[in-house]
Amino acid sequence: MLAQRNVQELYCFQDFVFPAISVGGPDLLERFERQIAAGDPFSPDANEMSLLIHGGGVFMKLDAEGRLMVTDFIRGFTGISDEVTFVGRADHFQLWQPQAFVAAQAQARGERKLAGKRS
C-alpha cells in the first residue's frame, strides 16, 4: 500500500494510550494538525495535542527495500528488543513489544466481555 502511494517517509509517534509507536504516511500527521488548527491553537487541548503529536513524533525514512529501522526512539518507548509485533489500525499501523500487545489485547477483550454482560 505504501509503495502504491509512493510514500517514502513515515510519521511515527508515541501512542497516547498504549506503549506502542503509531506509524502512518504524511496524511496521518496532517489529520492531527487539522484537528489542532480547527480549534483555538492556544487552548490547553491544542497545546497537549501538539505536545503529543509533535513532541512525541519523528519522521522516518524507509530503506531501499521498504523496511523501517527499529531505532532507539521506538525501542525506548515500547520496550521492543529483538521481536516486534505489527498491528494494523484503520489508517495506520502500530509497533508493539509482543508481550505488551498480548496483554493489552487480553485486557481489551476482557473489558468487552464485561461490557457485554452489563447490557
Inform me whether the pLDDT recorded for 1 exceeds 70.
Answer: no
Among residues of the chain, what percentage have pLDDT more than 90?
63
Residue 43 has pLDDT above 70, yes or no: yes
67 closest CA partner among 84, 80, 89: 84
Span 86-110, mean pLDDT?
A: 94
CATH classification number, 9-118, choose in 2.130.10.10, 3.40.1390.10, 3.40.1550.20, 1.10.287.70: 3.40.1550.20
> Domain coordinates of the chain in residue numbers?
9-118
> CA 18, 23, 28 angle in degrees (round to 5)?
105
